Amino acid sequence: MTLRYRKILLGVTGSIAAYKACELVRLLVQDGAEVQVVMSPAAEQFVGAMTFEALSRKPVRTALFDREVEMAMSHIELARWADAVVIAPASANCLARLAMGLADDLLTTLCLATRAPVVIAPAMNTAMWENPATQAHVHALVERGVQVVSPAVGEQACGETGPGRLPDPEYLRAVIEDLGTDRALQGIHAIVTAGPTREPIDPARFISNFSTGRMGCALADALLERGARVTLIHGPIDIPPSSDADCVAVTTAAEMLEETLKRSEDCQLLVANAAVADWRPCAPTDRKTKKAQEVRTLELEPTPDILATLGQQASRPYLVGFAAETEDLEENARAKLRAKNVDLMVANRIGPNHGFGDAETTLEVVDADSVTRLGPDSKNTLARQLVDHITARLSPASSVVDFLHAARRTTHSG
């Protein structure tokens, strides 16, 4: 499981335990999450906003009506931005206000406006926690689907001993990591190919393409989030690959084919996202060709097609291919779907300054008789949507794992 690219809105309210939220921010950021801290006015009595700003590398939001920040990202946009809203520590006052559905400050308004899962970790004096009023508020929130992390038992800052302590930041980090995750791909081994390949001309030169590997890495992360075991077989890429995937670095198409075939036996899903070079020099030289040498024609031969090779196997994993196209996306993708005998083809439009790198993009997911358009959105969001789409296609029932293992034993007709 990974927190990479998760957008966490962390609410901090007025409790002595607010200092523990600093460590929680540090752990989340360390794991690659984006954290936006929202402090209640009372929280500022306990910890300075600057501490959170330094740790989260983002300005802390405090006020509902701050025209300047509202212009940059309104509270509604902020509520939509969050993949999860976490309040740690949540004071007794905060619980009561949430239970009432109040919206008279930024944090309570965000909790009403978000559709993301909400987790609260109460922290307060034991008597306040055990008070029937507080318990009724907790009950009401749980009924509405809010996840409440039970306070830890122990000695409190006020001298009393009992329930009311904020659990350790490490524990809270683990709760957030598991949040809202549908681990429908648990037990599945997925191979993702990513990035470009390089086909040598001589020791100094090669043929390649503009692929950065971003989409492939985002897909590996999205599959990991769904509980799959992921092997990421990647060419030279611009970003560090997910640390939770089993990563195999290769250079050429031939190496990518070899490493994929080696592992394809015990794999149930192959997502071929790599922009494999289509041609390679027939006879790469051991010595560097001199610039002064007469310009010669470079003789090329096709590289082995990894996806099509797997498409020919009698027993093969569920196959998802990508088609980078400049025009007629659906038709071209469907032609490749048939030619390579794969289950899904994902077409993305490329062009000058389009389709590669960080920019938002759109995808057309094509099977034998339908097309689904995703985006425009970031590659991370599209990767999650695509993995959801694949998961739903594999089996509408919950027993995706059984289905996949059965699918592995049969030949797909296309």
Q: Footprint of ligand C5P on residues 290-329 (CB under 6 A)? A: 303, 305-307, 321-323
The neighbour count for residue 382, using CB atoms within 10 Å, is: 23
Helix (H) or strand (E) holding 22: helix 18-30
Looking at the Cβ atoms of 29 and 371, the one nearer to ligand C5P is: 371
Min separation Cβ 257 and ligand C5P, Å:
7
Residues with catalytic function: 158
Q: Under rule CB under 6 A, which residues in 155-194 are in contact with ligand C5P?
A: 193
- Give the DSSP per-residue string, 116-137: S-EEEEE---HHHHHSHHHHHH
Tokens of 65: 């009506």
Q: Which residues contact 369 (CB under 8 A, 6 or more apart)?
A: none
Residue from 61, 198, 229, 336 in contact with ligand C5P (CB under 6 A)? 336
Considering beta carbons, is residue 96 or 371 the nearer one to ligand C5P? 371
Beta bridge partners of 275: 196
Nearer residue to ligand C5P within complex by CB, 199 or 225: 199
Binding mask 118-157 for ligand C5P (x = CB under 6 A): ----------------------------------------
105 touches ligand C5P by CB under 6 A: no
**Tokens found for residue 335:** 């032609």
For residues 27 to 66, the per-residue mask of contacts with ligand C5P, x marking binding by CB under 6 A and - elsewhere, is ----------------------------------------
- CB-wise, 114 or 361, nearer to ligand C5P? 361
Q: Alpha helices of 131-285 — where are they, by DSSP H?
A: 132-143, 169-177, 214-225, 253-264
Q: Which two tokens stand for residue 180?
A: 């809202």
Q: Which of 228, 213, 73, 95 has its CA nearest to residue 151?
A: 95
Q: Which residue is listed with tokens 């099509």? A: 308
Q: Which of 147, 158, 37, 14 is nearest to 93 (CA)?
A: 14
Q: Minimum distance from CB of 343 to ligand C5P (Å)?
A: 12
The residue from 219, 253, 366, 387 that contacts ligand C5P (CB under 6 A) is 253
Instruction: Name the amino acid, one letter, at 282.
Output: C
Is residue 274 a contact residue for ligand C5P (CB under 6 A)?
yes
- Please name the amino acid found at residue 22: C
How many CA atoms does the CB half-sphere of 343 hold within 13 Å? 21
Q: Give the interface segment with ligand C5P, choosing from 81-89, 167-175, 177-185, 273-281 (CB under 6 A).
A: 273-281
CA atoms within 13 A on the CB side of 244: 21
Closer residue to ligand C5P, CB minimum distance, 248 or 272? 272
- Regarding 334 and contact with ligand C5P (CB under 6 A), the answer is no
Report the residue number, 9 or 275, with the smaller CB distance to ligand C5P.
Answer: 275
Residue 284: CB minimum distance to ligand C5P, A: 17
Chain residues in the site for ligand C5P (CB under 6 A):
193, 253, 272, 274, 276, 278, 303, 305-307, 321-323, 336
